[in-house]
Amino acid sequence: MADTEQQQPADDGLIVARVCIDDTLGPYEARLDPTNRWNGWLCPRFDLDTVRKIAARTQEMADEYGHDTYDTVHVIDGDARRSEHRAVVLVVRWQYLGGEPGEEVEHAVSVISPDADGLYGIGGGEWTWHAAAPDPDARKENTVSEPKWLADAEAEFARREETRAAYEARIAAETADRINNKLDELGITPIRPAAIQNHRALIIPALLVEADPEEELYSVHADWDATARRVRLAAGHFWNDYAGLLPSRPLNSVEDVVLARREGPEQKPEPQHSGPASWDLRKIAEGAARTIASDVTSHDTGEVVQMLSGVAAAVLHLSDTLARTFTRP
pLDDT for 66-77, tens place per residue? 887 889 999 998
Mean per-residue pLDDT for 203-218? 90
What percent of the chain is predicted at pLDDT more than 90? 34
Output phi, psi for 220, to 5 deg.
-125, 135
Coil, strand or helix at 61:
helix
Domain segments of the chain: what residues?
Answer: 2-139, 174-263, 278-327
pLDDT at 167: 84
pLDDT band, very low/low/confident/very high, at 249 (cuts 50, 70, 90): very high
Average pLDDT over the chain reads: 78
Which residues make Cβ contacts (< 8 Å) with residue 88, sequence separation at least 6? 75, 76, 78, 111
250-273 pLDDT, tens digit per residue, is 999 999 999 999 998 887 766 665
Could you give the residue ranges of the DSSP H alpha helices within the chain? 48-65, 148-185, 254-263, 278-291, 299-327
pLDDT band, very low/low/confident/very high, at 83 (cuts 50, 70, 90): low
Structural contact between residues 4 and 11, judged by C-beta atoms closer than 8 angstroms: no
Coil, strand or helix at 94:
helix
